[in-house]
Amino acid sequence: MVSVDLKRDRVLLRWGTQKYEWCIEPRYWRNPTFGVAFLLILPLFFFSYPHLLTMLTTANLLAALAIPLSLQILGTARVNFGPQFYLGIGGYTAALLNLSFGWNPFFTLLGTIFVCGSVALMLSPITWIARGLYFSLITLILPLAFLDLTYQFGDIFRGEVGLFGMSPLFDLGRVKWNYLSYYYLSLFLMLLYLLGAHKITKSRFGVSLAAINENENVARMMGINVSFYKVIYYVVPSILTGIVGWFIVHTFRSFAGVTYLPLEFMLKVLFIVIIGGRASVFGAVPGAYAVSIIEEALRSFGHISHWVFPLVLVAMIYLLPRGEGLWGLYKKRHPRDYYPKMHVRRE
Amino acid sequence: MNKARIFFIVLAVVLGLTLGISPAMAQKGKPIKIGFMGNLSAPFSLSAQAAAKLAVEEMNASGGILGRPVELISEDTKGEIPKGIEVYKKLVMHNRVDAVVVAEKVEMGVAGAQIGAELFREFPHIMFCTIGGTDDIWHLVRDNYDRYKFAFHTYYFVATHYLQILGGQILPDFHKNYIGSKKIALLYEDMAWTQPIRRGIPGVSPSLKDIYKSKGFDVVYEATISLDQKVFSTLFDDITKSGADAIDGVMGYIDQASFIKQWAQSSARDIPWFFWGGIAGMPMAWKMTDGMIAGGSIGSSFVKVPITEKTIPFMDNMIEKYKVGPIFGSHTTYDTLFGYRKALQQAGDTKDIEKVIHELENVKETAVLGTIGWDAKNHHNLPYPAYVTPIVQWQDGKMVPIYPKNIATGKFMSPAKLRK
């Protein structure tokens, strides 16, 4: 029935025809453990700096936006220039359900998942009919059109003011404890996305994705249902993006499309993907932290930071290994620390 | 040195800067700290920041507040709400400011009010919102006083006052007795702040259109303009066809330069217009429109007219010391800080926050635009005639104050006459 095999570098568990394996060789799990431990203890240094704790929370959320985007780029073989559209859909859904119907954060989360999933499913055929520049342009327009709607339907979305006064996720009685718990919750969300994305890229599903990414026609000839995969990889990351909107609504307690829907916000997420390293979903984490920390550091320089910040980001893109970013820089020095897996080429 | 080392050294420097503390102020005594937050790439926030610096400089020159120096801590929100929330927490929890001035569009004010309400119990402070024409801040106070009593809003006209005072008293008088118009074309920009003006406020005021009708005007045209709109020629043709003899624009953020240039070359060029605010009320508007703005009227506090003894020195000092024009948000920020100073002086202490709030609810102080003070129940500033925004008309390259009478230096002239 169930058999357990202890190999040199892994534990194998067989149950009927199913096989599960866990890597136990230290060099494969040491660095991720250190990384997660570092992120877990990081707030201890920033407990007296609640604003920096908020910055780190925002960095986690930015990473949580970049991870599904990376996965979506891989799975649909298309660059989505408007993932913040679903951030807006998720945020406004959670806010409206909370303010209008008094739903608590758990039910607004369910509502957010449902609405984001439904909207993404309705729009998913664009992954079939458009590719390359056309797909990017369509996805670019979606959040901008939604932003216009927030003005036109001001009764519902309250235009530039946005919605505010939503109930918090929880209240521990002390604001510092609340902010600390928001950090850990955002970290949990980000790590969950990261783990999920990593598992997917390593699985059989990931092999199919790699094939689609390389050449859709060849993938189709191999028997992969390309259309189905593309819908899945458009809908699921859209839902994950919407959940970040839900999180923002119940932690910041105000949500205005004018902040999240314009192109500037999307550019920041794209910069995170590229600086972190678009060749790996792990790149989103160093990318988000680097961009957030640099932005915060440059803010003390006053208004010159408004043009210095983008220059620094452009310089980083130029100086870091092309396509590999910060993650690639690190990985190159520790090539044996990574479990061998199929390499997905990304142009 | 390899790339990884360089990267970690750069990261260490960046972290050091992030954790760094702003330059220490070499002042004696425990200062009264005022936090300022705004989008420092936006002209209105930069102007408000200069006004805050000027106010603090003048306060320190005259002995500070309650014998204590005043320290201003400025922070840039970059116009992003997450950054604004971060900054608000920094000012209140880390810098331990006594008051925060949010000099940015109203979405940042309401986001600040939410965070401020969370913090208030453990970190008592006052929040002033000095930009934004919506009613949201004072509605929060009205609807939940205990939670939002720390929030005060100062602006030229909030939406309710726009309807009740500007729409209900000033504009009918201006159109009837100054312009001589009877048929009005109403234009709104598509933003949340114009919504109550378009639709009215139930139980408080009818819409601007209905107010005009009740005052004997005929509203012959009404349209809402998108912020992205650049072409207005068909709009002007429709206004001309409607027979309107005046255009009332509830607009501050649309592309006014394009609007004005197209108006001056359209069939509606002889129909005078009035704007509530925006770039048309700034000195550069004449150059920006190649003089086509002649004949346009606008609510502008940029004009040098002595509303009180503070008005002219404030405007001169802003330009002389900070090289910044006193555009919208600067007067309100400056006046708010002096109102706060008087309230603190009356309270005699900064620690008793309830007493400070009580004094803010009752304070009256001479201001740049009249008298600063806040409504005791709703925490919006005292409106016109206490707080005055002059109506000016562009005549021969200058903004000439034409309303109200006590500060007017000229009379309304028709656009056709001015073009001659």
Q: A160 near A258, Cβ under 8 Å?
A: yes
Nearest-Cα distance to chain A for B276, in Å, is 18
Nearest-Cα distance to chain B for A290, in Å, is 8
- Strand duo B273-275 + B365-367: pairing: unpaired
Query: Which H or E run includes B99?
Result: strand B99-102
pLDDT score at B79: 87
pLDDT score at A324: 78
Q: What is the DSSP string of B295-364?
A: T-EEE-S-S---SSTTHHHHHHHHHHHH-----TTHHHHHHHHHHHHHHHHHHT-SS-HHHHHHHHHH--
Is B242 touching A (CB cutoff 8 A)? no
The DSSP secondary-structure symbol of B202 reads T
Better-predicted residue by pLDDT, A104 or A328: A104
**Strand pairing partners for B152?**
B128
CB atoms B75 and A258 under 8 Å: no
Task: Find the helix packing angle between B3-19 and A325-333, rounded to 10°.
Answer: 130
CB atoms A151 and B227 under 8 Å: yes
- Strand duo B370-372 + B365-367: pairing: antiparallel
- Strand duo A18-23 + A10-15: pairing: antiparallel
Nearest-Cα distance to chain A for B89, in Å, is 5
- CA dist B133 and B252 (Å) reads 10
Chain B residue numbers touching A48 (CB-CB < 8 A): 94
pLDDT score at A39: 93
Percent of chain A topping pLDDT 90: 36
Choose the most confident range, by mean pLDDT, from A175-179, A204-208, B6-10: A175-179
CB atoms A158 and B3 under 8 Å: no
Is B3 touching A (CB cutoff 8 A)? yes
- CA dist A212 and A218 (Å) reads 8
Interface pTM, i.e. ipTM: 0.82
SS3 B37: strand
Chain B residue numbers touching A161 (CB-CB < 8 A): 106-107, 110, 134, 136, 192-193
Q: What are phi and psi of B148, to 5 degrees?
A: -115, 20
The secondary structure of chain A, three-state, reads CEEEEECCCEEEEEECCEEEEEECCHHHHHHHHHHHHHHHHHHHHHCCCHHHHHHHHHHHHHHHHHHHHHHHHHHHCCCCCCCHHHHHHHHHHHHHHHHHHCCCHHHHHHHHHHHHHHHHHHHCCHHHHCCHHHHHHHHHHHHHHHHHHHHHCHHHHCCCCCEECCCCCCCCCCHHHHHHHHHHHHHHHHHHHHHHHHHHHHCHHHHHHHHHHHCHHHHHHCCCCHHHHHHHHHHHHHHHHHHHHHHHHHHHCEECHHHHCCHHHHHHHHHHHHHHCCCCHHHHHHHHHHHHHHHHHHHCCHHHHHHHHHHHHHHHHHHCCCCCHHHHHHHHHCHHHCCCCCCCCCC
Better-predicted residue by pLDDT, B38 or A344: B38
Contacts of B101 (CB under 8 A, 6+ apart): B34, B35, B36, B37, B48, B52, B128, B130, B333, B336, B337
> Which ranges of B24-155 would DSSP assign to H, the alpha helix?
43-61, 81-89, 106-120, 136-143, 145-148
Residues 53-82 of B with CB under 8 A from A: 75-76, 78-82
Q: B207 near B200, Cβ under 8 Å?
A: yes
CB atoms A54 and B192 under 8 Å: no
Q: B139 near B110, Cβ under 8 Å?
A: no
CB atoms B110 and A48 under 8 Å: no
Question: Which of A51, A258, A302 lies closest to B107 in CB terms?
Answer: A258
- CA dist B218 and A331 (Å) reads 73
- CA dist A97 and B199 (Å) reads 25
Percent of chain B topping pLDDT 70: 93
Q: B211 near B205, Cβ under 8 Å?
A: yes
pLDDT score at A340: 54
Is B163 touching A (CB cutoff 8 A)? no
Q: Tell me if the bond preceding B385 is cis, omega within 30° of 0.
A: yes
| Average per-residue pLDDT for chain B | 89
CB atoms B93 and A148 under 8 Å: no
What superfamily in CATH does domain B27-156+308-372 come from? Response regulator (3.40.50.2300)
pLDDT score at B147: 95
Q: B272 near B184, Cβ under 8 Å?
A: no
- Determine which of A36-40, B260-264, B302-306, B314-318 has the lowest per-residue pLDDT on average: B302-306
The secondary structure of B205-243, three-state, reads ECCHHHHHHHCCCEEEEEEEECCCCCCCHHHHHHHHHHC
Chain A residue numbers touching B195 (CB-CB < 8 A): 154-155, 159
Supply angle C-alpha A177, A180, A185, rounded to 5.
Answer: 120
**What are the helix and strand counts (H, E) for chain B?**
17, 14
pLDDT score at B12: 56
CB atoms B192 and A175 under 8 Å: no
CB atoms A161 and B78 under 8 Å: no
Q: Which of A52, A157, A254, A298 to mutate to test the interface with B (most CBs of B within 10 A)?
A: A254
Count of other CB atoms within 10 angstroms of residue B94: 16
Nearest-Cα distance to chain A for B343, in Å, is 28
**pLDDT category of residue A347 using cuts at 50, 70 and 90:** very low
pLDDT score at B27: 43
- Determine which of A309-323, B10-24, B61-75 has the lowest per-residue pLDDT on average: B10-24
Chain B residue numbers touching A160 (CB-CB < 8 A): 105-107, 191-193
> A144, A142, A112, A111: which is closest to A124 by C-alpha?
A142
Question: Which of B83, B105, B114 lies closest to A160 in CB terms?
Answer: B105
Length of chain A: 347
- CA dist A181 and A175 (Å) reads 10
- CA dist B278 and B260 (Å) reads 12
Supply angle C-alpha B364, B193, A108, rounded to 5.
Answer: 110
- Direct distance between the N- and C-terminal alpha carbons of chain A, in angstroms, rounded to an integer: 45
Chain B residue numbers touching A51 (CB-CB < 8 A): 86-87, 89-90, 93-94
CB atoms A306 and B41 under 8 Å: yes
Is B103 touching A (CB cutoff 8 A)? no
- Label residues A262-279 b or e (16+ Cβ within 10 Å = b): eeebbebbbbbbbbbbbb
Q: What are phi and psi of B385, to 5 degrees?
A: -90, 0
- CA dist B360 and B375 (Å) reads 9
Q: A78 near A136, Cβ under 8 Å?
A: yes
**What is the rounded radius of gyration, in angstroms, for the C-alpha atoms of chain B?**
23
Is A187 touching B (CB cutoff 8 A)? no
CB atoms B107 and A165 under 8 Å: no
- CA dist B242 and B221 (Å) reads 6
pLDDT score at A342: 53
Residue B379 scores a pLDDT above 90: yes
Residues 79-98 of B with CB under 8 A from A: 79-83, 85-87, 89-90, 93-94
CA dihedral A193, A199, A205, A210 (to 10 degrees): 90
Which pLDDT tens digit goes with each residue over A275-307?
Answer: 888 767 888 999 999 999 998 888 877 777 788
| Average per-residue pLDDT for chain A | 87
pLDDT score at A33: 86
Which pLDDT tens digit goes with each residue over B139-176?
Answer: 999 999 999 999 999 999 888 898 999 988 899 999 99
Query: Which H or E run includes B7?
Result: helix B3-19
Which pLDDT tens digit goes with each residue over A241-269?
Answer: 999 999 999 998 889 888 899 988 888 88
The model carries a pTM of 0.84
Question: Which of A164, A290, A333 lies closest to B110 in CB terms?
Answer: A164
- CA dist B8 and A19 (Å) reads 42
Percent of chain A topping pLDDT 70: 96
Q: What is the mean pLDDT of residues B215-220?
A: 94
> B147, B219, B155: which is closest to B187 by C-alpha?
B219
- What residue ranges of chain B are covered by domains with CATH 3.40.50.2300? 27-156+308-372, 159-300+390-419
Q: How many beta-carbon contacts under 8 Å exist across A and B?
A: 139
> A192, A190, A203: which is closest to A74 by C-alpha?
A203
Supply angle C-alpha A141, A142, A143, rounded to 5.
Answer: 100
CB atoms B106 and A58 under 8 Å: no
CATH number listed for the domain at residues B159-300+390-419: 3.40.50.2300
CB atoms A160 and B106 under 8 Å: yes
